[in-house]
Amino acid sequence: MSRSIRFVSPKRRRLLEGQRFLRSDGKPNFSTRVYEKPGELYLIAKKPVVTITQVEPVGKAVKTMTDKGFRRLPVTTATGELKGIITATDIVNYFGGGEFFNIIINRHGGNIYKALEEPVSSIMNKNPIYATVNDNLAYAIELMVKYNVGGLPVVTPDDMRVYGIITERDIINYLGGKEVGVKVRDVMTRNVITLPYDVSIGEAAKTMIKMGFRRIPLIDREGYVKGLITARSIVRFFGTNKVFEYVITGKIEEALSAPAFEAAIQDIVMVSPEEDVGDAATKMSNAGMGSALVIEDSKLVGIITERDIMILLVIKR
């Protein structure tokens, strides 16, 4: 069964998470590790970056994110000027998780095929947090910590054209080492929110959006982990033919009634609470995963994410 917790709105949670790493002057208390390597974003940003235009359909964003394994896509004009960003969480919100779902119901009569044709501009973040090629790594990390975002488009300042992108994973790979001298138990999140293995995709999506989570472990009646459902894995469910095994009349509710394990990740990264965080980061990187479940005596005792590891690497302790 899922564990009960006191509800904190996603907006408030993001604010609290960002602020707890800031000094009284509003600046992150960076370690020297951030400054030991060249920090110019034009050198560090991943490029070329895959983008989508604001007039293209949500279905194309879903397909691109599925095929590329991305969590986010910068949204641009036809000439490459940054206009927004669309994330896996936005798509989960749209396909039943939150207020964007009203677009499907009111504008498309609940029809999944019509919903896939909705322009990306309807659900994208129209005020994306971004950095420029003239900024440095410290500033980019400051933005990511302050606004609790997992990636930043990097643009040219004169015309706002997308030059590249930098993500939490990029920063971990750039700053990280084999070992960091901190155990997983010291940075993991305890009291992990879980869902029953037989919950529907619709209920999982609603829980993600309500709680502000990107991932939720699925457990059986004995409390053993049976899968991990994430925003990206839900996008992948909608981006493959799997979803259409459940859609008979074209109604979105048919897709949302599918069991969550159909969209869950089975090859989960699992680590011990006594492992070094650097080893956990390596396992996550090798598996292309943004998190690892912390297991002790065969039971779930915590979760560690790329956000946790990035914060450990960049903030003085």
CA distance linking residue 53 with residue 119, whole number of Å:
9
Which CATH homologous superfamily contains domain 184-314? CBS-domain (3.10.580.10)
- The predicted-structure confidence for 163-203, as pLDDT tens digits, reads as follows 999 999 999 988 876 778 899 999 999 999 999 999 999 99
- pLDDT at position 118: 98
Hey, do 10-167 and 184-314 end up sharing a CATH topology, with the first three levels equal? yes
Domain covering 10-167: architecture: Roll (3.10)
134 token code pair: 């003239």
Q: What are the pLDDT digits (tens) for 43-97?
A: 999 999 999 999 999 999 999 999 999 999 999 999 999 999 999 999 999 999 8
Could you read off the pLDDT of 262-294 as tens digits, one per residue? 999 999 999 999 999 999 999 999 999 999 999
Give me the percent of the chain exceeding a pLDDT of 90: 76
Task: Decide if pLDDT at 21 tops 60.
Answer: no
Q: Pick from 159, 274, 253: which is nearest to 203 by CA? A: 253
**DSSP letters for 250-277:** SBHHHHHTSBGGGT-BSS--EE-TTSBH
Looking at residue 26, its pLDDT comes to: 58
Helix axes 277-287, 306-314, angle to 10 degrees: 130
Average pLDDT over residues 233-258: 95
- Tell me the per-residue pLDDT of 126-172, one tens digit each, with 9 for 90 and over: 999 999 999 999 999 989 988 889 999 999 999 999 999 999 999 99
Please compute the mean of the pLDDT values over residues 225-254 and round it to a whole number: 95
DSSP class of 246: T
Cβ neighbour number for residue 106 with a 10 Å cutoff: 9
**pLDDT number for residue 8:** 37
Q: Token pair for residue 87? A: 């994330």
Q: What residue spans of 20-100 are helical by DSSP H?
A: 41-44, 58-68, 88-92
What predicted TM-score, i.e. pTM, was given to this entire model?
Answer: 0.89
Q: What is the mean pLDDT of the chain?
A: 89
Domain boundaries, the chain: 10-167, 184-314
